[in-house]
Chains A and B, each alone.
Chain A
Amino acid sequence: MIGMSENITALDKVYHGMYITVLVFLAIMLFSCLIRAVRGPRIADRLVAVNMMGTMVMVIIAVLSLLLNQGYLIDICLIYAMISFLAVNVISKVYLGVYVEKQQKPQEEDAKEAGEGGGTYGNS
């Protein structure tokens, strides 16, 4: 019986070490994602990197919930997935809207100027 209990603790030790190594690897990859997000030349680059970071954080939360034996952390994982999806969608939509607005404004001004120019031309 004593041997069996020792074996169980060995299993627990293996589980604990594995979870810690997985967490360390995921943390390193998270930091490299952050580098990509900072360096990315375009907005879409940054958003892709942020999306990736969200996925990795979800895995980290799931591993933590098993490491700490707290089932409710998975709920947080689910909510995190929803919020990260929402964030990426909203930010891309906002950037698209801002870009379209910026694109339209000069055209309107050009049209106005052209109209005024045409008017003066007509008057003269």
Chain B
Amino acid sequence: MQKRLGKEAEPMEILEWIRLILGASLLLIGLIIFFVELYGIFHFRYVLNRMHAAAMGDTLGISCSLIGLMIFSGLNFTTFKMMLVVAFLWFASPVSSHLLSNLEVTTNENLKKYCQVYENLADLEKELLEEEQEKTGRDTV
């Protein structure tokens, strides 16, 4: 009787271990993404480049690690709240990034030292169009 009970209980245990491994790997991916973000923030030389690295953790890093934690917590109200946090950050992070870049571009007086600035956007569009035409021409030839 006891042996049979043990045999019946085993698949549940295996499921628990699988859940642990799945959640831990997702949490680990989230931590790795946070580390990459940190590396990028020390590696790049200018704010607008750094922002590129920093925006990654706000969306992908926190969603990976919170999905891992959701798998740990199971199906309950806590999981729903975690999903709410992730969804909120998906909307909030681009807005704050936009405002920060706006602040940087308006307050930096020698922006041309760090990056190429187009005074009117028509020039940039023209240049991009020319590049594209060159590319397609090269492809067809």
A residues with a Cβ closer than 8 A to B are 1, 3-4, 7, 11, 14-15, 18, 22, 25-26, 29, 32-33, 36, 40, 42-45, 47-49, 51-52, 55-56, 58-59, 62-63, 65-66, 71, 74-75, 77-78, 81-82, 85, 88-89, 92-93, 95-96, 99-100
Contact with A along B9-52 (1 / 0, CB 8 A): 10001001100100010010011001101100110000100110
**B102 contacts chain A at the CB level, 8 A cutoff:** yes
B interface residues, how many (CB within 8 angstroms):
53
Tell whether A11 pairs with B17 under 8 Å between CB atoms, given A4-B6, A88-B96, A96-B103: yes
Q: Are B78 and A47 in contact (CB under 8 A)?
A: no
A70 vs chain B, min Cβ distance (A): 9
A49 to B51, CA, bound (A): 9
B residues with a Cβ closer than 8 A to A are 2, 5-6, 9, 13, 16-17, 20, 24, 27, 30-31, 34-35, 37-38, 41-42, 47, 50-51, 54, 57-58, 61-62, 65-66, 69, 72-73, 76-78, 81-82, 84-85, 88-89, 92-93, 95-96, 99-104, 106-108
Tell whether A42 pairs with B78 under 8 Å between CB atoms, given A29-B34, A55-B57, A92-B103: no
With a cutoff of 8 Å between Cβ atoms, the chain B residues found around residue A89 in the complex are 95-96, 99
Other-chain residue from A22, A48, A81 in contact with B27 (beta carbon distance below 8 A)? A22
Q: Are B20 and A36 in contact (CB under 8 A)?
A: no
User: Which one of A4, A25, A48 has the greatest number of beta carbons of chain B within 10 Å?
Assistant: A48
Q: Are B72 and A59 in contact (CB under 8 A)?
A: no
Which secondary structure characterizes the binding site on chain B? helix
A95 to B81, CA, bound (A): 33
A59 to B84, CA, bound (A): 14
A-B complex: 8 closest residue pairs judged by Cβ atoms: A44-B104, A85-B92, A74-B81, A44-B47, A92-B103, A92-B99, A88-B96, A71-B78
With a cutoff of 8 Å between Cβ atoms, the chain B residues found around residue A75 in the complex are 81
Q: Are B78 and A74 in contact (CB under 8 A)?
A: yes
B87 vs chain A, min Cβ distance (A): 10
Tell whether A55 pairs with B100 under 8 Å between CB atoms, given A4-B6, A14-B20, A49-B41: no
